[in-house]
Amino acid sequence: MDQLWESVAFQTAANYSVVIVCMIVFLALFEFVTSYRNWEEIQRGNLAVAMATGGKIFGIANIFRFSIEHNDSLVTMMGWGVFGFFLLLIGYFTFEFLTPKFKIDKQIAADNRAVGFISMVISIGLSFVIGAGIS
């Protein structure tokens, strides 16, 4: 039984499972803090929302990539991933704060693709910075 727990395949499946659950929870939290409904907007073809959401998904996954690479324990990996997510969330609020001339959420909901693209790039960029800190 010990061989199973220590196998690379088992560890990969465990990491994958934890990340999927965290991804679902984190996307639900993002859904809670935005004024629009991500999946409804994506279903309607709102590319700005799709880009912003895609950036969040990539950002979360990238943070966990760094966490998996640099932590042996599943619990430690998850802890750093959760911490990284909250830093990503702070980055989202900072982006909103730094653009006082317009509301990011309203622009993305209105399919302003320039704002959606910048939101995506910010999430991706911050995930590399956060990940570098984890390592």
Give residue-wise pLDDT tens across range 108-131.
999 999 999 999 999 999 999 999
CB atoms within 10 A of CB 108: 27
Tokens of 86: 């909250």
**C-beta of residue 77 within 8 angstroms of C-beta of residue 22:** no
Percent composition of the chain: helix, strand, coil (DSSP 3-state, to 5)? 85, 0, 15
CB atoms within 10 A of CB 129: 13
Nearest to 19, CA basis, from 90, 88, 77, 71: 77
For residues 18 and 74, give the distance between their C-alpha atoms in angstroms, rounded to a whole number. Answer: 8
CB atoms within 10 A of CB 112: 18
Give the per-residue pLDDT at 39: 93
C-alpha distance from residue 85 to each of 36, 40, 45 (Å): 20, 23, 27
| Predicted TM-score (pTM) of this structure | 0.90
Segments forming the whole domain that contains residue 20: 2-134
Count how many domains the chain has. 1
Tens digit of each residue's pLDDT (9 = 90 or more) over 56-72: 999 999 999 999 999 87
Residue 97: pLDDT over 70: yes
Quick one: how many helices (H) and strands (E) in the chain? Answer: 7, 0
CB atoms within 10 A of CB 118: 20
Give the per-residue pLDDT at 7: 82
